[in-house]
Amino acid sequence: MKNNTIILIALISTLLLNNCAEKTSYSGKVFNKNEDIYKLATKDEIITNLGPPNYIDPIEKKYIYYSEKKISKNFYNNKTIERILIVFHFNSDNTIQLIDEYNLDNQKDIKLVEDQTSSEIVKQGLLERVFGGVGKGPVTSP
């Protein structure tokens, strides 16, 4: 009996301590700080160094790479540390024309709207809610 309580206490303490650890998760392409994307010159070099893109624009054939880093301690405490979108524009000979880098960190702040739905249905009585507009005459304007 004593061994079972010791095992139970050890199991519970292990679970509690494990849930307090920070977990880092990545989405999309994880960019290496040593990689200099501005030294790349062609589509082939981009695919060789960065891998296939997350999305290819079907109209202009741009390569789009997305990267996101999140740190979470528990379900309610998630923080987005870094979000980056990199777009490669190409010339007709598959050389890089332009590289756009967008920092999406300002998009993580969401403002909640505090508008409320009117409470007219609460003000109505039970019979009026059940039967609605039954028995009312036509509405006439003055």
**Tens digit of each residue's pLDDT (9 = 90 or more) over 104-119:** 776 655 666 777 766 6
- pTM of the predicted protein model: 0.58
Show me where the domains of the chain are located. Answer: 22-108
What's the confidence (pLDDT) of residue 80?
A: 81
Find, among 13, 17, 50, the residue nearest to 31 by Cα: 50
CA dist., res. 86 & res. 35, Å (int): 13
What's the N-to-C CA distance of the chain in angstroms? 86
Query: Regarding predicted confidence, which is higher, 2 or 64?
Result: 64
Question: DSSP code of 60?
Answer: T
What's the confidence (pLDDT) of residue 82?
A: 84
Q: Where are the alpha helices (DSSP H) in the chain?
A: 2-19, 43-50, 120-123, 126-131
Query: Regarding predicted confidence, which is higher, 123 or 103?
Result: 103
pLDDT bucket at 120, cuts 50 / 70 / 90 = low
